Structure 1
């Protein structure tokens, strides 16, 4: 029996004036799965990510999280319920250190215990801060940038900044992770590190991962399922081997008739 989707879009439609960006897109991702979303420029991938993460409300269709309708829920609500996202353009807090970026990502959730527990210097607050710092150190090490915790995020080269943004996205363990062009600007070893982290998130922590990436070889190697968008609609969906051999995909995406 196929597992249900953790995050699902049904009949998603988005228009910009007279232009149709998404036309009835159905897409979902399951716990423990790494799903790739590919397609030519202008296919609607980033628009779909904006809808999934709550930044843009669709003109048609519904968004479901664990089967519940979240179409009108805000990005903050979705983040509080375990959804995380990275962006094509890096969104790090440049004037903070890398470690501080991860602390910010964990701070919003709070630790409970009421006002007294949040007093500066209280034992409960010190314990939570220690736990967050330790979690941040482990995540940075897993992302291969454990030595960069004290470095200012704004001064990092592209590859390290990408890994720092990934680390921030998973500092508070996600249930759903949306990665927008995560391999862009990464070196070979950094791509291997990224793949290892994503596989561990899905395989060991049961995270549902959906990624947009132009590097087809990277997607085919990492993902267990691939969805192809073209002109705002799903052109094909299936395992990497089937997608690679699909003549429609070769023509629309790879430029091979």
Structure 2
């Protein structure tokens, strides 16, 4: 089995007296698409903040390609191949779609040294993502689904080793979700990228991912294949509560294979 490229071990995060994460361990391997699911408040976005360097954990550590990067900055991580998208889109709205992808590469040399190469790479990624026709459009004017794809394209513009995708299917149509899934699969299969994604659309996760990790109340509740997680009684209880209709997520989860839970962002 391929060794993990990015590994979180024993992660703990507290906000005052509240434990957002307790002893959480998660890893992702090259060529793998791994899903991270759980009810609102489970700690999914907090874990992404730790993995991307936005938040330093109170306990545990992060290892990348065999090196401890727990204290490394978000900029260091991005420049070494760990890329992230966000729940709330972070595009440069006053730049064109193409320029959003060029900017993502500028740290490698800027316009004097790499303008032509950056443009060529941007055009290739836009074509791969089906965005050729939008290259000259301003990113701030795009509808949600197209903006999600542009954000994914920008993360791919400078070839990543790890992709952290925070709700990439949120607000998208069924066709847009299929396109996003195809691009993510290509990154994993053809570029050997390690992909970890958070998503409330459970059907999207179960179809796309080869492995699923479930968080609940800041702890890892279950981990395994989509089929195994789908059948786990503890996972069903985490979404439904001890008895149907009594849990905080009652009605949001019937079975992961069919459910599409468009819930509010959680921290």
**TM-score > 0.5 by shorter chain:** yes
- Once the two structures are superposed, the pairs formed by residues 1-257 of structure 1 within 5 Å of their partners are 2-110=1-109, 120=112, 125=113, 128-253=114-239
Give the CA RMSD over aligned residues: 1.3
- Runs in 1 of length 4+ with deviation above 3 angstroms? 254-257
How much does 1:109 deviate? 2.2
Q: Distance in 1 between matches of 2:49 and 2:64?
A: 15
Q: Secondary structure at the match of 2:214?
A: strand
Find the aligned partners of 1:10 and 1:254 in 2 and give their Cα distance. Answer: 29
Distance 1:228 1:100 in 2: 37
Q: How many residues in Structure 1 have an aligned counterpart in Structure 2?
A: 243
Q: Distance in 2 between matches of 1:229 and 1:14?
A: 14
Q: CA deviation at 1:188?
A: 1.3
Instruction: Give the drift of 1:164.
Output: 0.6
Runs of 5+ unmatched residues, structure 1: 112-117
Q: C-alpha deviations, 1:63-91, integer Å up to 9, x for none? A: 00011100000001101110000000000
TM-score, with structure 1 as normaliser: 0.92
1:78-134 Cα shifts (integer Å, max 9, x gaps): 0111000000000000110010000000111228xxxxxx7x4xxxx3xx3222111
